[in-house]
Amino acid sequence: MSTNTVFTIGRQYGSGGTEIGRRVAKELDIPFYDKELIAISARESGLSESLFTNADEKATSSIFYSLVMGNYPMASGALGVTEMPLNDQLFLIQSKTIKRLAGEGPCVIVGRCADYILRDMENTLSIFIHADLAYRVERAVAMYEAPANKAEDICIKTDKQRANFYNYYSDRKWGRCRTYDLAINSAKLGIEGSALHIIHFDEEWQNSKTR
């Protein structure tokens, strides 16, 4: 099956969102971007990769929101990009990278507000992968080698961090079903089943355009 869709995947920690996205990309033979976005953004901006790694999916102060909403005193233009908090500068750089990659053709992009950044593109399909906490804790221990006595706390804290990041840089709510085109409980379908469900959903979406 061929597609011209850009898939964006939000995910709870331990739900398998990255693995599912990688399966979708492999099945459709399209590029896959997750941590790869860090290296690409660093290379294209000339900044250290460690800066992007340390700021990855982490929100900063409220100044960026104020700038976007026009409430900050210097939002009229007196405040340059280089005067913004570092995390906000990095977000803008990574957003530019995401838009460029999506503009080059179909691909899978994991996290980093990609669905919101690409909200004006017609060929995007936004997906959120979730699962019950027990399932995610089990996977965190088995797949990510999280300490068994800390895995639950890691899941909860990482989700909170991702939610804060998403809610801060967008006007939507992370994890809320109506934010996305498709929400999948990976504990019900498994990694392979979830990937196939996404591909089938995209196929039906493409077919609906010709009916």
Whole-angstrom distance, CA of residue 33 vs CA of residue 21: 9
Domain annotation covers residue 1: no
Q: Which residue segment(s) compose the domain that 122 sits in?
A: 6-203
Domain annotation covers residue 210: no
Write down the pLDDT at residue 64.
Answer: 46
Confidence of residue 155 (pLDDT cuts 50, 70, 90): very high
Confidence of residue 2 (pLDDT cuts 50, 70, 90): confident
Virtual CA dihedral for 161, 18, 119, 184, nearest 10 degrees? -90
Predicted confidence (pLDDT) per residue in 162-203, tens digit: 999 999 999 999 999 999 999 999 999 999 999 999 999 999
Domain annotation covers residue 19: yes
Q: Is 105 helix (H, G, I), strand (E, B) or coil?
A: coil
Domain annotation covers residue 101: yes
Domain annotation covers residue 209: no
Domain annotation covers residue 56: yes
Beta strand pairing status for 6-11 and 107-110? parallel
Give the rounded percent of residues in the chain with a pLDDT score beyond 70: 88
Predicted confidence (pLDDT) per residue in 51-85, tens digit: 888 888 887 654 444 444 444 333 334 345 556 78
Q: Map tokens 């850009």 to a residue.
A: 6
Q: What is the CATH number of the domain that holds 191?
A: 3.40.50.300
Predicted confidence (pLDDT) per residue in 134-154, tens digit: 999 999 999 999 999 999 999
Distances (CA, A) of 43 to 29, 63, 100, 148: 24, 26, 14, 36
Domain annotation covers residue 211: no
How many independent structural domains does the chain possess?
A: 1
